[in-house]
Structure 1
């Protein structure tokens, strides 16, 4: 069952006795757990029927005992086990999982780890409950995730603004969603679209001097603009670390190389093949005319070289800002 299917079932009050929420992305696990805590019990019922415990404090047998309690003045006894990956002798919970109480909802938050599918406990939960296996979302998928997250809330975001947020926040969904929620609070009444200007005004991220604008300048070989941006980034390394800039450049030139090898370069084909928003297709079309395949391969090699230099390999004294300026010069010439 997918994350969305689980969330929809919970909203429709279609519960199962056991939820095993596990994997690499804690945000999905927290979303399911939080929604269950919001919907299963009324506020007045939680004092006696909501048990939030931590795996490091209990073993499987103790969790079994808590799960077997009957609800008091409510339909369900709810047990949320945080840090379930730390539960000692968790296999002892298999006996409960094989025949769980219908009056109990047991939620196992198994973060940054997975329960062995070969274990009897896993098989019992799979049969009598729901298993959600979460995976990290790759950074190149984050702009689309941001768009979807906002759409569900009734808002929109300009593609450039989504790219700016991705560059500065990465693929930590808790951090990304938290920043978006803060931006929504600051939106003027009646405005439903987040723009680069709104991000700059409310988060301190410059709409003109960032990796996204640098890539745009490079895609058109706008030397003056690229140098202005790189000088700003070089002088503000605390907020614009070289690793973020190199990552953005590698993303763009890697996609550009893939674009150049596409037989069908229609907008629909490009967006589907590269996984990008149609808004950015002209950037790739333009850059493809300015950077031959051979040059793109050289640039990708340069990015790998300067990434290593930024981490101290083959570099004794050059500052990150100087490395950036040198890299951009070699890309443009």
Structure 2
């Protein structure tokens, strides 16, 4: 029998979460009830996690601990504690290691049986488009190809985010309705929840002063951080995706080149909303400044992963200051706005 430890990694959050839920459901089916815990490696000690796994309840026969940020578990003593626990672990106590990264520390990886590991790779645009069409069809709706393109441009490209956004259409339209690009504009572009992509849009408004853009962006950041299942790593990944697309926008328009609608579609700018957004953003940051911004995002990502949750909000706020006020230049010391 495989050890009761699992490792699910990779950026495709939706499929990854479904697999985690399937493990929980199998425990319920086997034992009848389960105590579920969601913990973060940056906030939790391994000895406390093991204590939860080893504590037996008179009323709940099984325990499942989901440990996110598993890439932070690296210390020799932490891995030795987990190894010792596994030697006597019961199948009623399960530990699920989760990370947005592709891999974890090699010593930790070795503790997990091969059959209990899976990497959930990000889907490319064609697979996401097929997933979207299938999801709408399964729920009784059709969707036009242009509408699919618009949703992909307005939403983080993982099935968890897409599922949440698509469910809003089911509340607004009757079954058998065909979702159009106009519907997407109405439901998502004007009424969507705050995300890394709405944050980028606020940061890239050339009609506002830098200080006004910073104020609005910090407000949006606060809203994102208060939402359920927010992840600073995913915020950074979303911003990086936007600035990489802005680099592409600059490169295909180099020298003032005119591009027809077909060419823009082939480059990934299908909807008018996306074209307007990146046209505005190109007036705020040059191609060279995009490279500096991406370097700042990468630096902040490394800082957040190494320092844990306690400073995340401050580090993200400082990043927004660097992008908006300094066009990607790093702050060597505190600077008043």
> Which TM-score applies when normalising by structure 1?
0.51
Is 1:130 the counterpart of 2:116? The answer is: yes
| Equivalent position of 1:147 in the other structure | 133
Displacement, 1:245?
A: 9.3
> C-alpha deviations, 1:47-99, integer Å up to 9, x for none?
xx223322123333432332233353344222222333334634221333455
Displacement, 1:155?
A: 3.8
| Equivalent position of 2:44 in the other structure | 58
Partner SS state of residue 59, structure 2: coil
1:106 to 86, 91, 95: 95
- Contact 2:68/2:99 (<8 A) preserved: yes
Displacement, 1:162?
A: 0.6
| Equivalent position of 2:149 in the other structure | 163
Tell me: higher relative CO, structure 1 or 2? Use CA pairs within 8 A at least 6 residues apart: 2
| Equivalent position of 1:82 in the other structure | 68
Counterpart-to-counterpart distance in 2, 1:103 and 1:55: 22
Displacement, 1:253?
A: 3.9
| Equivalent position of 1:181 in the other structure | 167
Counterpart-to-counterpart distance in 1, 2:51 and 2:89: 12
Gaps of at least 5 residues in structure 1 are: 1-14, 206-233, 258-279, 281-306, 316-333
> C-alpha deviations, 1:245-289, integer Å up to 9, x for none?
9499799649969xxxxxxxxxxxxxxxxxxxxxx9xxxxxxxxx
Aligned in 2, Cα 1:255/1:168: closer, same or farther, shift over 3 Å? closer
Q: Max radius of gyration: which structure?
A: 1
RMSD: 4.6
Alignment of 1:275-286 (within 5 A): none
1:243 to 246, 267, 274: 246
- Contact 1:52/1:80 (<8 A) preserved: yes
Partner SS state of residue 243, structure 1: helix
Is 1:312 the counterpart of 2:280? The answer is: no
> C-alpha deviations, 1:219-243, integer Å up to 9, x for none?
xxxxxxxxxxxxxxx99999x9993
Is 1:19 the counterpart of 2:22? The answer is: no
Gaps of at least 5 residues in structure 2 are: 191-204, 214-241, 253-258, 271-280, 290-337
| Equivalent position of 2:79 in the other structure | 91
| Count of residues in Structure 1 that have an aligned counterpart in Structure 2 | 220
Counterpart-to-counterpart distance in 2, 1:18 and 1:29: 15
